[in-house]
Structure 1
Amino acid sequence: MVMGLFSTFYEYSQAPCLSSALGRRCRVCYNINMSSVAVILNPAAGGGRSGRRRRRLETDLQRSGLDWELVVTRNKADMRSRIQACADTAAWLLIVGGDTSFRIAASEILDRHHEKKTIPRLAFFGAGSANDLTRGLGIRNLRHLCGLIRQNQVRQMDVGWVRTESPPREHCFLGSMSLGLGVLVNREMARTRGESGRPLAAWIPGAVALRRVFNSHDLPMDLSVNGRPVTCSLAVVLNGPYYAGGLRLAPEASPFDHKLDLVLLSTRGWLSTLVAGVAVLVRRRLKAETGSDWNLKSKETFSVQLDGDVFPAGRACTVGLHAAALSVAAGTE
């Protein structure tokens, strides 16, 4: 995620392991059948890490007292259709994947709400590269998550939305919406990771990308935020405290408080941005503004990053909140 440059080592040391419990019977299902907990696995999450852990996941699933069924998805379209099929019968959908997988699941469940269909509860287990959402929900590991499901420990989670100017579309997000560094540097990071297959190999190209975008005319950005002019290199709207693979960017933010937090990083060069990133890693707080909606405009076209996905926005977007939109398993963050 953005500023992954600073958190590459952090995210891999902090990612929760797949060690615990979730299921008496094990049945890998490609044709959806009824179960209390549909476990939907995206094997491509985290550059394939989620899929490589599948055997260990299935072993761990045997040790829980839950009635479960494993569904393995092939791509995004397949994941959407299987979520819809499982939601017709399962009481819970447990999504094993990354932030993109979680956003897809949330989008599909919100669609069901609008269509007045049955709405299952959601549980998220992070097996991607960032896992900021599950950190914010207070999920320590799979055993902990299973215990929350067994105890039916549910909270009503807020979901963010973004309406873009061009093309005119509405998208949802669970953890964060960003523009600036959140898009420009990560495009280079994703390209490098795709070529190397080794996340640590993206560190140096990421640093080069950071310097390159500041040497271009892309950063810093001149924005209008709710009519107020600002100059920044990064703008992040947060629905939780974590960002970019474990950076605690807005410690007071919560996915349950019916608010969105805006953080602006007002650096004007690559070196000052590096310094700011290190400061956040050592728990320096950045100033956050709290509100329920934000209007962002620019004279230049821009794209926005929603959790793990990037979308074109044109020259303007509006960010808002669906309060208490999802029933999710949650602990204490």
Structure 2
Amino acid sequence: MLQQKLIVAISSRALFNLDASHHIFETQGMEAFCRYQIEHENEILDPGFGFALVKKFLDLNSAFPAQPLVEIILLSQNSADTGLRIFNSINHYGLAISRAAFTSGVSPYAYIPAFGADLFLSANAGDVRKALAAGYAAATIIAGATANTSEQLRIAFDGDAVLFSDEAETIYQQHGLAAFTDNERKHAHQPLPGGPLKGFLSALHRIQTHFDQQNLAPIRTALVTARAAPAHERVVRTLRAWGIRIDEAIFLGGMDKGPFLQAFGADIFFDDQKGHCESAELHQITAAHVPHGVKNQS
């Protein structure tokens, strides 16, 4: 059934490189943009930042062809008319994407719950902020890289304000590291509230349970966090309380995340701070910004 799948919604600009047509839209307006797309609708688009990730998600379905585990939904601000070029490109690359919403310039985030999407990936930061404000898991793809050559899909997450709420991060920002550490030690047995991507991680975990973990599972997850001991304990106990297994946990104590993401071989990394996303990009890791929490309130 549809609701049992992992469902990822992606924008057309995250899936394909639409820089040329987007530049025309910004400089010449909607009419010129529509004319350009129609004139070039038989020209295949180059892959965008999220293309390799989508390809790996769809490849997971080869293990269960009768009941696919993953579905990709297209959410696009194009019109149905200009969207023909996008579907021509989807067909060219053999991507199994059949469901879509074309909204003719209006933010498509309202269709996230209608499709039952566990995550919305977009190149439009405004759309992502609207989705997060409405309570939906979303991230802005701000950097791309060549995909990890392994067939395994590897996804890395920051902790606070991404998988977890920004409750502890707020204490750190307002009162400093000592207060943060003291708070986490005192509340080590109290699970952290969930953050915007908790549901997505839960859906990934659900997919992982279909595979034998003694062999090479097709999905591997990692928590890559600036936390260090003793603040690690609350994280471990929180994931245990949620009933979610995460394959690797890396507690960096403030070290640069980029080299560790490279060592993990992440296909994508989600973080609430753009600086960490930029570090990932420097190490050839596709990065997605989650503009949530105290660090993004301004």
What TM-score do the two structures reach when normalised by structure 2? 0.28
Q: Which has the higher helix share?
A: 2
What TM-score do the two structures reach when normalised by structure 1? 0.26
